[in-house]
Structure 1
Amino acid sequence: MGDAVRPADDIFNHVLQESFRTWSSYLASEDEGHPFPQHAIDLGSLVCQTPPFLGGSAAASDEKIAFACEEKQSTQGKGSLVVNAQSTWRTSTGKCDLPPRVLSKQLLLAVGHKVSVRLSTDSPFSHWPGVHGLSDYDEGNYLSVLYLAWAYILSARWVELLGRSRDHECQMSYSPPSCEGPVHSNKQHMIQIDIGDDACAEEVSWWRAVLCSDSCWDATTKYNGHEYLSPWSLSATGAGLIVTTKGFLNTRADPPDSWTALEYLRRFCVHHRLYAQCSVALAGVLYIPFMRGGTIALPFPKESSRLKSKEGDGGSTVPIQELLKEHGQLLAKYMTLSSNVWGLRSILCSTFFNKDIECNLVSAWLNPAFAILDSISSKSNSKAAFLINRQPRIGILWLGALLTDLAKSILRDVRAGMTAVDLPASAWTETSQSFLSSEIESIDGDYIHRDDECRLLFITAFESHDRPPIWPWKPFGATHLSETELSVFEHAWCTGHYLEYDSWEWILTDNRSIKNTREQTSQPTDKKSQYLHNRDSPVLEDYTYNFFSQSLSEGATRGIFRWLRSTGYPSSERPMYQLFWFDMEGTDDEEAPDDEESDVEMQNSLRKTHVQLWLEELE
């Protein structure tokens, strides 16, 4: 091994050994009951720069506006609705007057089908491991109940925010079936959920609508003569849950707004002393748009034997009320993150990104990671701990993905080389996803590093480089300046060029927009990767894995060089493109599909969904 493209054997082996030591340091105990760290349930700090959904309160509530929407057809039946938006990126400190980059984007606004929920004994987190420092909390398992409640709350907020649009007729309603009164059929198989004896009639009606075994609430909008559903719409048909209260209540109360429903949820969490599970369930709900009409399996509820709290936080030092208040205030930000389906996926993929790894060494970096992941029992919580230890900042998103079993598909796709990069999502969560956002180094001599060449091509939007590459790995080597594109040659000696997120705009139909600028806040304390040293150090020979496979490096190298040389390669690089890693024939004739299709044209099968998403982002 070792030529103009492939690394020398000694370099590959060095990176492989260093990578193995790094990834193995994230291993935790295989103990099923090993609790999660507290920072793994922090969802609020992750969305510090995320714009609120549809501008949140940026537009006056009494002002009628009209969002620029598009209807997307689907081969699976009812289509989806997307909303147009754009992000603006600074490219210069002012010493060179390069204009900002404006990147168009479409986010999911409404769907045509609900996601079905069923309960399973084999679903992830059926045995809740707990959280360090919260030994008196979350002793039962109410993840499925909380999940169903959060889906309603997000949908109610969706109705409130989208209801400002004069082009939409939004409504939150209860459906008439078996929500009213107790369910009598197969009652012996129903799981009783205690919401407390002091729940009011409206509160009981809401819980019945959220939990009972029929499609008992709907969040809808009528647009252009078609009816669509909230992206977080669920159907609990067959879940087998029933609300238990004293007395018989048969009310026809109106569905509560999001803040009232949030108060009902707060009372439930206080009653059952639920804290960590509340945030994990909310994180899981963020993936509902990913499912697009599929089915999700959640754990059966399990009641705690501990005596429940009557009022307040039960004298605890853990502020359940403050947690729910924070989630309520950040709800619109969570909704934006959730509606960016490709972006949410890209955040999980960032766990495997390393800005120092070049494209031809990706296999040496990632092969050890998947060798270790393969060795972890799928029935233990060690896989969650491993991913959390690697990237603590997004640990809560991994818990949500594991709860909904989406993590399995994400990991499979990363293993196959189908990663995702989404610049807005990276900026919103302040996570590193791509070499593109790193600083451009100063030129010293007649050559420019190829990764800096890529950055200049993108920030100058030269010809076919107006869209960012979806491959996160930087190209190796350097290019003689005389062989670079004109835009690179003109700006190679400039100082102060970079790519920095500035603002997000929701596009309106009257040539206006709702703008959310980047918040000038102090950088959040970055939770570093957690290295664990309480295990015997493993060695490569402990694993049965093809550590020397080059498939990931081959795909990453071919991908980024196709983007870099989309207009043709210089003559000095001809020896590279004659090697078997490259297949550049026909690249000039390939037309990149619409970036925004990746968020809306998805199949019911999660595997097909991920493959389609990835293919539609290819340049």
Structure 2
Amino acid sequence: MLGVSVGHECRMRYAVREEAPSEQRPMSTVEVDIGDDADEEELIWWRAVLCSTLGWDATTTYNGRDYISPWSVAAKDAGLTLTQTTRGFKPHSYSHPPGSATALEYLSRFCVYHRLYAQCSVALAGALYIPFQRGRTVYLPFPKPALRSEFKNYDDDDDGSIPDLLNQHSKLLPQYMTLSSNVWGLRSILHSTVFNIDIECNLVNAWLNPAFAAIESLSSKEYPTSHREVALAILLTNRHPRLGILWLGAILTNLARSILRDVKAGMTAVDLPASAWVGAAQTFLTAAVGTNRDSGSIPREDEYRLLFLTASEGHDRPPVWPWRPFATTGLCDTELAVRKHAGCACHGLEYESREWMLTDDNNDTNGDTTNRNSLIHQIGEKPTEIQNPAPRPISPNQTPTALDSYQRYDLSSRSLSESATRNIFGWLRSTGYPLSERDIYQHSWIDVEDTDEEESAPASDDADLNRAVQQIPTKENGHVEDWLEDVE
């Protein structure tokens, strides 16, 4: 992508690195067998991938400055070595790594040789989180080495499907890179696992407290770490099967617990394009506006949607909290844009495409529009079905995961409900509230003091005000009507 963008000079070349002395050396060395049919160039490529003494630099120069790839990593004290040796290797023999097609062939042969199938997808999911780490060190688990003789009797039917799987992944690589480079979007997708579009903002704790009590019960030190991670993966995948592979990647890279800790503390992320990419609702705003014809009121959640869709003043960005408001609002108390569209029942968000903005003012959809129907799941038509998929049935022979006591978790906490309610209603009435909503905005959870109307005005004053409006001369009424037409 950078190669076709004016002003970018991209380079990728092998680099021999001197291994710095380290106080902590790996306890043991793992030998990686890549097969006897690997040629010299393939051996060098694998050595660059696995060993810390050889790698490659992927950089781009722009405006006189060098930038590295967001997926740049450095293997430090990895304790990996190749069973095969690069005989007579000279650094300058192969100055540039092979292209992506050749590298995919190397990876495919390696996976077939070691009968790796599901591990490919999990490893790819882990690679998506490289930009997420922001330079932090990640300690990856080593798989238990197995001799080829231990699985000679295994069925060979899956060997042919491994290259097919990798080819499918390669076709989706631009989409994976787009998702991976959007760290906030990737975080928002994981946060959507615990989101439920039917939950109102004042009931957030009632929804989340039992969920996190169950999650924290899986942290008991009575079980090995691997068992706790497997139990967590099963729990999160059963909640949202479509996002299961992303959670496996987060668990692999030690990010899952910190992400869940943020959600528990109320630090949720909302990214509407990322929500559309994976078909997982993150906020009540993505549902379609309901029918409100011949009614003097509108559901408050629809009022929010119309304010956001029409980009009314102060409402061009979604609320920080994703939970829907409760109750209804009288149409007479809503903004003009809401009154205009309240009876339409045809408004909603729909994903169109993504574009890379190049430096020469051109756009590149990178195939997004042609593959949209197969890759992008539209949200808004049936958000409840998308967000709340049917859980996978548990086998009768499967032993349920033992849950620890819930006594350590405060199930009566209401802090998240209070924060969500304050934010949601503060987003709606940032400049004041009508008299009919005084009880809501004077509640201790919200406590907004200013108002658009005099709170102490008696009911009789309203009647006097109506009579005063009716006495305005017709000419002035005409000016008001002309102004309203211009606003619309």
TM-score for the superposition, normalised by structure 1: 0.63
Corresponding residue to 2:413 among 549, 567, 576: 549
Listed as ranges, the matches of 1:127-526 within 5 Å are 161-177=1-17, 189-214=28-53, 216-245=55-84, 248-251=87-90, 252-253=93-94, 254-307=96-149, 314-316=156-158, 319-377=161-219, 379=225, 380=227, 381-443=230-292, 444-515=294-365, 516-517=368-369, 519-521=372-374
Separation of aligned partners in 1, 2:233 and 2:215: 10
* Deviation sequence 1:53-110 (CA, Å, 0-9, x none): xxxxxxxxxxxxxxxxxxxxxxxxxxxxxxxxxxxxxxxxxxxxxxxxxxxxxxxxxx
> Is the partner of 2:175 in helix, strand or coil?
helix
Following superposition, the deviation at residue 165 of structure 1 comes to 1.5
Letter in 2 for 1:435: F
Q: State the aligned residue count.
A: 420
Following superposition, the deviation at residue 173 of structure 1 comes to 1.1
Letter in 1 for 2:372: E
Letter in 1 for 2:295: G
Greater relative contact order, per chain length (Cα 8 Å cut-off, separation 6+): 1
Q: Which moved more, 1:566-575 or 1:291-300?
A: 566-575
Tell me the equivalent position of 1:567.
431
Tell me the equivalent position of 2:471.
none
Corresponding residue to 1:579 among 443, 449, 456: 443
1:289 and 1:339 in contact (8 A); partners too: yes
Separation of aligned partners in 2, 1:266 and 1:175: 24
> Is the partner of 1:497 in helix, strand or coil?
coil
* Deviation sequence 1:356-406 (CA, Å, 0-9, x none): 100000100110000111111362211110001110011000000000011
Separation of aligned partners in 1, 2:106 and 2:329: 62
2:186 and 2:274 in contact (8 A); partners too: yes
271 and 586 in structure 1: CA distance in 2 versus 1, 3 angstrom threshold: farther
- Which has a greater percent of helix? 2
Letter in 2 for 1:561: F
Tell me the equivalent position of 2:461.
none
Separation of aligned partners in 1, 2:431 and 2:132: 35
1:434 and 1:472 in contact (8 A); partners too: yes
1:358 and 1:473 in contact (8 A); partners too: yes
* Deviation sequence 1:509-566 (CA, Å, 0-9, x none): 4443224437234987976322548578999986442211101111111111121222
Tell me the equivalent position of 2:422.
558
2:217 and 2:406 in contact (8 A); partners too: no
> Is the partner of 2:138 in helix, strand or coil?
strand
1:271 and 1:308 in contact (8 A); partners too: no
2:355 and 2:364 in contact (8 A); partners too: yes
1:413 and 1:419 in contact (8 A); partners too: yes
250 and 231 in structure 1: CA distance in 2 versus 1, 3 angstrom threshold: same
- Greater Rg by CA: 2
Listed as ranges, the matches of 1:79-98 within 5 Å are none
2:217 and 2:404 in contact (8 A); partners too: no
Letter in 2 for 1:451: E
* Deviation sequence 1:176-235 (CA, Å, 0-9, x none): 2369xxxxxx89943211111111100000111111124621111111111111110000
1:219 and 1:230 in contact (8 A); partners too: yes
Separation of aligned partners in 2, 1:512 and 1:316: 43
Separation of aligned partners in 1, 2:433 and 2:334: 9
In structure 1, runs of 5+ residues without a counterpart are 1-160, 180-185, 588-619
286 and 425 in structure 1: CA distance in 2 versus 1, 3 angstrom threshold: same
357 and 215 in structure 1: CA distance in 2 versus 1, 3 angstrom threshold: farther
Separation of aligned partners in 2, 1:569 and 1:283: 47
1:215 and 1:237 in contact (8 A); partners too: no
Separation of aligned partners in 1, 2:134 and 2:300: 39
Separation of aligned partners in 1, 2:373 and 2:31: 47
Letter in 2 for 1:567: T
> Is the partner of 1:504 in helix, strand or coil?
coil
Separation of aligned partners in 1, 2:121 and 2:401: 34
Letter in 1 for 2:373: Q
Following superposition, the deviation at residue 441 of structure 1 comes to 1.1
Q: Which moved more, 1:313-322 or 1:401-410?
A: 313-322
Separation of aligned partners in 2, 1:178 and 1:357: 56
* Deviation sequence 1:100-143 (CA, Å, 0-9, x none): xxxxxxxxxxxxxxxxxxxxxxxxxxxxxxxxxxxxxxxxxxxx
> Is the partner of 2:349 in helix, strand or coil?
strand
- Which has a greater percent of strand? 1
1:213 and 1:237 in contact (8 A); partners too: yes
Percentage of matched positions with identical amino acids: 56
1:469 and 1:563 in contact (8 A); partners too: yes
